[in-house]
Amino acid sequence: MFVTVFSTKSYDRNFLTAANDGKDHDIRFLDIRLSPDTAVLAEGAQAVCAFVNDDLSAPVLEILARGGTKLIALRCAGFNNVDLTAARDLGLTVARVPAYSPHAVAEHTVALILALNRNIHRAHNRVREGNFALDGLLGFDLHGKTVGIIGTGTIGAVLARIMAGFGCTILGHDVAENPDCVALGMEYVPRDEIFARSDILSLHCPLTPDTHHMIGFDTLKLLKRGVTIVNTSRGAVIDARAAIAGLKDGTIGGLGLDVYEEEADLFFEDLSDMAIQDDVFARLLTFPNVLITGHQAFLTHEALTAIAETTIANIDAFARSGAAVHEISVEKLAPKP
Ligand code: NAI
């Protein structure tokens, strides 16, 4: 099958090429993002492979369908950037990668927790400058602390297991209890209680109207003073302006972010020779107790292998039978943000 890949990074090229070994799909890699202006570049491709910040709105899908595209193969789990109704009306099949390594994301969360708590980011800079003073680097033992996990699905459950290994008390909050977490000794509590009791709060829920700005101006007063908050789920679960207020008055003692509400304008690109236009993001970067990574929690060898293999499996199945393995449609699924 002739496949055009948009928003290609070197790792996409490497892992998709490896997964295609022996399948012989004709893959053309484009660095450019999919948009109304670039969709025409896919002309003649039966499948288009896209990522989280590619534009798959109705106008783009119309151009793709006109150019002969039959399959949209997303190399990610979320599909909030796809107009599924338009895809159905145009006869386009949409497929995704519903799950890859939950360990990748959970372990990155732990990396943020440990780095923030022990000030690894600051210590690294100091030592490189020959400054071996320890003032300002005081941390706390994780052992015996209370970790609150909001969203105890696949990733939240892996994090719970890791943090239990540190000797932490594990609280959970979810719309449904996960028996694996209960077996681990997790205590499920209402949202207000998890806010009030957690020394470390980690977010692993999807972005929905219910979770949008879950950490916001209204909820700051409910948090345990000095709490460390880590978000590797979706940016808009935290209101970044409220987080800044919480950091300024000490309500939030540490903030680790892998996702940010307005990340589409920043993440995945090298903007190092440009001025950051987002003043909220720029303010966040000024706090010594804020650590931000650019949506890289999924970036492990194992996760990228799984993403590439599932993407090629979707394309392969579609080429053989006209149906992908992990199809999504307006009828089949409630949207996962
Ligand atoms: P999952 O679907 O297995 O688990 C999500 C959990 O959140 C479920 O148990 C669900 O019941 C719960 N939930 C739903 N609404 C809730 C609410 N209102 N309050 C509390 N809990 C609620 O999803 P998974 O795979 O564990 O992913 C979790 C998050 O991580 C998602 O937001 C996903 O987009 C994000 N993610 C981030 C990545 C990154 O690179 N930073 C990579 C992969 C996923």
- Determine whether the shortest distance from the Cβ of 210 to ligand 1 is under 6 A: yes
Q: Share the mean pLDDT of the chain.
A: 95
Residues in CB range of 291: below 8 A, 6 or more apart: 112, 115, 116, 121, 254, 255, 256, 257
Which band of pLDDT confidence, cut at 50, 70 and 90, is reported for residue 335?
very low
Q: Is residue 94 assigned to a domain? A: yes
- Does residue 60 lie within any of the structural domains? yes
Distance 234 CA to ligand 1 centre (A): 8
Structure confidence at residue 334 as a pLDDT band (50, 70, 90): low
Are 28 and 38 in the same domain? yes
Taking only the tens place, the pLDDT of each residue in 192-237 is 999 999 999 999 998 889 999 999 999 999 999 999 999 999 999 9
Residues 6+ apart with CB under 8 A from 321: none
Q: Domain check: are 52 and 134 in the same one? A: no
pLDDT at 337 over 80: no
- Ligand 1 pocket, residue 108 CB under 6 Å: no
For residue 318, the enclosing domain spans 2-100+301-332
Same domain for 122 and 93? no
Residue 337 within a domain: no
Which residue owns the Cα nearest ligand 1 atom 36? 233
User: Are residues 279 and 152 both part of a single domain?
Assistant: yes
- The set of catalytic residues is 234, 263, 295
Domains of the chain: total: 2
From the alpha carbon of 299, which atom of ligand 1 is closest?
A: 40
Q: How many other CB atoms are there within 10 angstroms of residue 34's CB atom?
A: 28
Please check the confidence at residue 336 and state whether its pLDDT lies above 50.
no
Whether 83 and 125 map to the same domain: the answer is no
Residues 9 and 135 in one domain: no
**Would residue 170 count as lying in a domain?**
yes
Residue nearest to atom 39 of ligand 1 (CA): 297
* 156 and 48 within one domain: no
Ligand 1 centroid, distance to 208 Cα (angstroms): 10
236 CA from centroid of ligand 1 (Å): 13
Do 279 and 202 share a structural domain? yes
**CATH number of the domain residue 171 falls in:** 3.40.50.720
Q: Express each pLDDT in 158-167 by its tens digit.
A: 999 999 999 9
Taking residues 246-253, report their average pLDDT.
Answer: 98
Instruction: Give the model confidence (pLDDT) of 264-321 as tens digits.
Output: 889 988 999 999 999 999 999 999 999 999 999 999 999 999 999 999 999 999 999 9
Does residue 185 belong to any structural domain of this protein? yes
Residue 118 shares a structural domain with residue 187: yes
